[in-house]
Amino acid sequence: MIKIDIISGFLGSGKTTLVKKLLQVHQNEKVVLIENEFGDIGIDGELVERDGFEVFEISSGCICCIMQKDFVHLLNRIVKEFQPERIIIEPTGISILSEIIDILRKPEFATLFQINSLVTVVDSVNYLKQFEVFGEFFEDQISNASVLILSKSQCVDSQTLAKISKSLRELNQDAEIINKNWDVLTPEELKELLDMQANLDLSDILHTDFKPCSENEFDALALKTSRSYSQEELEQILSLLSQPQYGQVLRGKGFLKSSQGFWDFSYTNGQFTVTESKFKSSSKLCLIGKNLREQEIRDLFKVKSGGLFSWLKF
């Protein structure tokens, strides 16, 4: 049977970073990645493809609801055409984990797939604050996980880590909690992350009535532009995104032109990084949040009317 590993986690928690590390240590296996993008422009999939891995993207919606038929069709295609040993699934940051588990347990997949691990990534910097707002949503991802791995643990103090662990343990008494700095995780520890539980007990999956991706709880904006940005200009733009006139921007990723190449940027809840890219790309970005203000964001990035701007509601 084909092993299925699901790497879930809220917006900006670090899922793609972890997936890239996992793909590196499983290079000797025939592995396929299914990347579910929250907007209609692929960002995460391209980041992984740059490292030479096989990536299949499903965009413009979540595989747990809007894109469920596409997800089932893709799974059947992968089995038929690629016959991998392992499929790693990275859902959008607003997907419902229990719904994805239910899809994979359909009778048609009973003899094809073994759900091998349910890894939920928890953002050490933002979790406690975000839990106050999205508690019911977090409950599904955390309660149904077999492994809870904290990202950015080196960025918070031991008291904060203890509070996070206490909160996680209240929702899930059985999952392994890993709070080690990812930079010092050994290849053996990363391999064990997916295979530490031989047989998962899926008899008591928690289902939530809160379905943010199918009830218009979030907005997504995708933008393409030929404009060039200096590092200082891009950092200034990203520093302003947390202001209320742009809506509540929770997550952003993109590749934007510089005078001599491209910038990669990542934005999570007011924190951001801008790094020089070694790769050529089309210039694009995607933002996700609540009550996003299209025109104001467009003006902020100085995109002319000829730029492609698309609006999605999840």
Burial of 54 (0-12, 13-18, 19+ CB in 10 A): middle
Give the pLDDT confidence score for residue 311 in this predicted structure: 43
Do β-strands 55-58 and 86-90 pair in parallel, antiparallel, or remain unpaired? unpaired
Q: What are phi and psi of 72, to 5 degrees?
A: -60, -45
Can you list the residues of the chain whose pLDDT is less than 70?
38-52, 60, 198, 208-216, 304-314
The domain segmentation of the chain, as residue ranges, is: 2-195, 219-313
* Amino acid at position 178, single letter: I
Phi-psi region of 83 (alpha: psi -120 to 50; beta: other; left: phi over 0): left
| CATH superfamily of domain region 219-313 | CobW-like, C-terminal domain (3.30.1220.10)
* Amino acid at position 312, single letter: L
The CATH label, of 3.30.750.200, 3.40.50.300, 3.40.920.10, 3.40.50.1580, for the domain at 2-195 is: 3.40.50.300
Could you tell me the pTM of the whole model? 0.86
**Distance in angstroms (rounded) separating the CA atoms of residues 96 and 313:** 16
Give the pLDDT confidence score for residue 39 in this predicted structure: 58
pLDDT digits (tens, 9 = 90+) for 235-267: 999 999 999 999 999 999 999 999 989 999 999
Dihedral angle of Cα 102, 122, 215, 115, to the nearest 10 degrees: -10
Give the pLDDT confidence score for residue 49 in this predicted structure: 55
Give the pLDDT confidence score for residue 50 in this predicted structure: 52
Give the pLDDT confidence score for residue 307 in this predicted structure: 42
Give the pLDDT confidence score for residue 313 in this predicted structure: 42
Phi-psi region of 28 (alpha: psi -120 to 50; beta: other; left: phi over 0): alpha
Give the pLDDT confidence score for residue 64 in this predicted structure: 77
* CATH topology match: 2-195 vs 219-313: no
Give the pLDDT confidence score for residue 155 in this predicted structure: 96
